[in-house]
Chain A
C-alpha cells in the first residue's frame, strides 16, 4: 500500500515541473491580464499610478463603436472565410487524392500561400489590389469592368480582406482534410460502387459522414485562428475605410500599444477570450452530442 502511494506521489512529482511551467507561461499572464482589466494605469513623475476602476472598463465596451465594429467584422470574417476555406480545402483534398502520384506536385503548389510570411502577403495583395496599376483592376479593365476600389470602398474592403485570408489559409484546411481523405477506408467506397452507388451518392452517404469529425475539427481550428486575424488588416487597410475592416485584434492592438490604455485593452482581451472559449465550448458540446 505504502509502495503504491509512494508511486503515486512520484507520478505527481514528475509532472510538477511541467505543471509549474504551464502555470508560469499561461496562467500567470492570464491572471495578470484579468487583474489589469479592472485597473487604469497612468504615469506621473516617471512613476506608474494604478487605480482600481472595478467594472468600468467592461462597462465602457458597450458604448465603444470600434469594439462593436471589431466584433461584428471579426464574426463576419470568421464565418465567411472559414466556411470558404474548409469547403475549398475539402474539394482540393478530394481532387488531390484522386490524381495518384502527381498529387505531390499539387500538394506543394497548394501549400505555397501558407508558407509565405504575412508581411509579404500584405505587400503582394496591396500591389494586386492597387487602384491604379494593380493586376486585379488591369484584368477587370480588359473586360470593361474596372477599376474597382478594393481597399478604399467601405462596401468592398472587408470582402477584399476575406479573399486574402481565404487565399492565405485554405492550405491549412487542405492539409488537415487531405490526411483525413487519404485515411478513408477504401473497401467501403468500393463496396458502394459495386452496389451501384453513384460517385455523388457515395460521397454524400459514405465519405462525408466519415470525414465529418475531421471537417469539424478543421473548422474549429480555422475559426480560432481566423478570430485572431491581424496582419492582413494591419497591412492592407489599417481597419479602414471608416470601420469597414476593423477587427477585434486590431482594436485591441490600438488600445494597448498605440493609445497606451492597458486597462481598457485588457478588458477587451478578456472579453474576447471569453467569447472564443464560449464558442469552442458550445461547438464541442454539440459535436459530442452529435457523435453520441
Chain B
C-alpha cells in the first residue's frame, strides 16, 4: 500500500504525464514524414539552416538540407521534378528559373495539398511571383494558384557610405541624376570609387543590375508580358536612356575595370572603404558591420534604388521561392507544407531575422527588431519590398538572360555601342520567342 502513499502517487502521476507527453510528441512527429530540402549555398543559408534547427526542435519533425552550388542546385531540382518521384520534398527555386517550374507543371498548388492553407497576409507576394494561372499561362495572384512561398527576398538595395554623406552634407538621392551628382562628389579614384555595380557576364549578373534602370525609366523587356503580349521592346527609347544612364555610371564614376565587376568585387570595394555606393542584394549587409571583415563597420547606410523622374523605384527581384514538387507522396507534401506554414508565421519570420536570415514578411520588417540601429537595412527593405519587380515569367527566360548578359556586358566593355547592343539583343530575343512559338515581334531598330 505504500505504493499509494502521496509521494508515490505524485511520482506515478508525473511518470504518466511524462509518458503521455512523450507519446504525444512521438505521435506528432510520426504524423509528418521527414522532409528533404534542396537549396543553394548562399550568404543567407546560415539563417535558413538556423531556422530549420528551430523547426526541428519545436515540432520534432525531421528536415534534411541538401546544400549545393547555384548551378548544381538547379540541376538537381530539374532532375528531381522530371523523374518518377522527386527525392526532394521542398525545392528552393531561384527567381530566374521558377517560370520553368510553373509552366512545366512540376509544382503542386498549395491548396491542392490542403484546401485550408492560406498565405499569411503579411508575406510579400513579390510582384505576384508566388502564383501561376495554368489556364492562361500567366504569373499572377488574381487568377492563379498559390504555388510557392518566398524564402528569401534577395532584393537589391543601394549601399552607401553614410559617414561620407554626413561629412559632405549630401542628401539621400531619389533620382539617378541626384545619385550621379553625389557619386561625382565622392569619386576620387583609385582611393574612392563613386559607384560600383555588377557589370560582368555570368548566369545573371549585369542583367540584374540593369533591370532597375530599365524599369525605372519606363522601359520593359516585352510590351505587356503580364497579359501575354510578348512583343519585344528592349530596344525602346526608354531602354536606351536606361542603358546610357547605366553606362554613364560605369564610365564616369565607376572603377577602371567595370566589365569584370562581380558581386564579390563590389563587397570587397565596400568593406575595404573604397566605394561610396554599391548596388547589392540586402543579404550582403551581414558583412558590412562585422569588424573582422569590414573597416567601415557602422558606416554603411542603405537606400532604395533611385529612379528616373516620374517613375517609381524598381529594385530587381532575385528572390528564392519554396515549392513542393507534384511528384512526391501525399504524406511528404503535407510535411513540406507544414514546414512552409510554420515558416510564414510572423513570429517565425522575426526569429528568422534575429538569426541573420532575410525575412519575407512585413511582420519582421515592421517589428521592433528592425528599428535597432544594427538592423537599419530592414527599414529600407520595408520600403523596397513592395516595389520590387520581377524579371520575366516565361521558361525562355534562361535563354533570354544569356542574350542580355552578353549584350549588356559588351557595351560596358566598350565592344559595341548602346544602340547596337539593344538592337542586337532585340533581334535575338525575338528569335528565341519565335522559335518557342510565341506570337511576337519587335520595335524598329533604334537609330544611332
Contacts and interface: CB of A to CB of B under 8 A. Distances in A.
Interface of A: 43-48, 60, 65-66, 131-132, 147, 149, 151-154, 237-244, 254, 257-261
A46 B399 CA distance: 20
A181 to B, nearest CB: 41
28 contacts: A43-B82, A43-B106, A44-B104, A46-B81, A46-B104, A46-B327, A48-B82, A131-B257, A132-B268, A152-B259, A152-B413, A153-B259, A153-B413, A154-B259, A154-B414, A237-B260, A239-B406, A240-B200, A240-B259, A241-B410, A241-B415, A242-B201, A242-B416, A243-B410, A254-B402, A258-B402, A259-B399, A260-B398
A241 B409 CA distance: 6
Contacts of A260: 78, 100, 395, 398
A258 B257 contact: no
A43 B414 contact: no
Contacts of A240: 200-202, 259-260, 405-406, 409, 413
Nearest to B272: A132
Nearest to B106: A46
B356 interface: no
Interface in B45-82: 71, 74-75, 78, 81-82
Nearest to B78: A260
B114 to A, nearest CB: 20
A259 B78 CA distance: 12
Contact of B406 (A147, A242, A258): A242
Given A43-B100, A240-B202, A258-B71, 9 more contacts: A44-B105, A46-B106, A47-B105, A65-B406, A131-B257, A153-B257, A154-B413, A258-B74, A260-B398
B194 to A, nearest CB: 16
Given A152-B257, A241-B413, A45 B105 contact: yes
Nearest to A251: B402
Contacts of A44: 103-105
A191 B42 CA distance: 68
A240 B218 CA distance: 29
Contacts of B326: 46
A46 B105 contact: yes
Interface string B307-343: 0000000000000000000110000000000000000
Given A44-B105, A154-B415, A259-B398, A238 B410 contact: no
Q: Is the interface of A mostly helix, strand, loop or mixed?
A: loop
Nearest to B70: A258
Interface of B: 71, 74-75, 78, 81-82, 100, 103-106, 190, 200-203, 255-261, 268, 326-327, 395, 398-399, 402, 405-406, 409-410, 412-416, 428, 435
A47 B71 CA distance: 22
B410 A242 contact: yes
Contacts of A43: 82, 100, 103-106, 395
Q: Which 4 A-B pairs have the closest CB atoms?
A: A152-B260, A240-B201, A43-B104, A242-B410
Nearest to A253: B71
A5 B413 CA distance: 71
B399 A241 contact: no
A260 B78 CA distance: 9
Contacts of B398: 258-260
Contacts of B190: 132
Nearest to A43: B104
A244 B402 CA distance: 15
Nearest to B435: A60
A258 B415 CA distance: 25
Contacts of B74: 257-258
Contacts of B105: 43-47
A238 B70 CA distance: 14
A258 B260 contact: no
A131 B260 contact: yes
B256 A149 contact: yes
Contacts of B416: 242
A44 B428 CA distance: 24
B64 to A, nearest CB: 24
Contacts of A239: 201, 406
Contacts of B327: 46
Which has the most chain A C-beta neighbours within 10 Å: B81, B103, B255, B406? B406
A60 B434 CA distance: 13
A27 to B, nearest CB: 24
A43 B394 CA distance: 12
B406 A152 contact: no
A131 B256 contact: yes
Contacts of B395: 43, 260
A240 B411 CA distance: 12
A264 B255 CA distance: 38
A259 B398 CA distance: 5
Nearest to B101: A43
Contact of A149 (B260, B409, B428, B435): B260
Contacts of B413: 152-154, 240-242, 244
A137 B228 CA distance: 51
A258 B203 contact: yes
A243 B415 CA distance: 10
Nearest to A151: B260
A258 B406 CA distance: 15
Contacts of A238: 200-202
Contacts of A241: 200-201, 259-260, 409-410, 412-413, 415
A257 B268 CA distance: 30
Contacts of B82: 43, 48
A66 B260 contact: no
